[in-house]
Amino acid sequence: MLMEQRAHRKSNAVSWRGPLVPCVDEYIRDVTTRKEHFIIRQSSATKAEVEGLSERHEVDIENHTCTCGFWQIAGLPCIHVAAFVGSKHHTLWHTYVDELYYSYRYRMAYEGAISTLPGKEQWTLLPDNQFVFPPVTIRPRGRPKKRRIKSFLEGSQK
Ligand SMILES: [Zn+2]
């Protein structure tokens, strides 16, 4: 079941051409073509106040934040970010999306194979007095490195 699911997802991902997984592409298409009206007051090259009919939010492109909180939580640009970025005619939408939604990450997740398991009848039984130790792990200590692709607005700082 698990192996079939993985194989299905793996073969699905082969046909993806864009940098983002298709459902995210669809989301971006949707959020960037919504006909909601926003007033955009730009305070710097990367910051703006985006005002809708009943709300007003601050968008910070450089730090990937919007005061509505959606961008920080979902890793996808919210309607306010879309309105601001859209007004500046930037079309590299994938640079505003968390790396986790990139097709290559999806492929990476499913590229490995699950090793097969012989039937229960073929298992070797160990005598009762033999202790089985846990596997030796080779994971290094500490937090793994962050490898997010930075948007062009972030420059080479940090
Ligand atoms: Zn927002």
Instruction: Between 59 and 145, name the one with better pLDDT.
Output: 59
Q: What's the CA-to-centroid distance between 25 and ligand 1, angstroms? A: 18
The mean pLDDT of the chain is 87
CA dist 101 and 118 (Å) reads 35
- Residue 87 C-alpha to ligand 1 middle, in angstroms? 15
* Residues facing residue 59 across a β-bridge: 48, 66
Give the start-to-end residue ranges of the domains of the chain.
Answer: 20-101
- Tokens 């309105």 correspond to 83
What pLDDT does 80 receive?
95
pLDDT: which is higher, 104 or 1: 104
Considering only CA atoms, which of 47, 49, 79, 51 is closest in space to residue 64?
Answer: 47
Asked if the model's pLDDT at residue 109 lies above 80, the reply is yes
Partners of 68 in the β-ladder: none
Q: Which of 2-6, 51-55, 87-91, 119-123 has the lowest mean pLDDT?
A: 87-91
Measured in angstroms, how far is the CA atom of residue 66 from the centroid of ligand 1? Answer: 5
Q: Across residues 122-136, what is the average pLDDT? A: 84
User: How far does the centroid of ligand 1 lie from the alpha carbon of residue 130, in Å?
Assistant: 59
CA of 129 to the centre of ligand 1 (A): 61
* Spacing, Cα 13 to ligand 1 middle (Å): 30
Around ion ligand 1, residues with a beta carbon closer than 5 Å are 57, 66, 68, 78, 80
pLDDT mean over 78-89: 89
pLDDT greater at residue 47 or residue 131? 47
* pLDDT tops 60 at residue 158: no
Determine the distance separating the centroid of ligand 1 and the alpha carbon of 99, expressed in angstroms.
19
Q: Ligand 1 centre from 91 Cα, in Å?
A: 18
Q: Give the pLDDT of residue 156.
A: 62
Report which of 41, 76, 74 is spatially closest to residue 58, judged by C-alpha positions.
41
144 pLDDT above the threshold of 60: yes
pLDDT score, position 50: 96
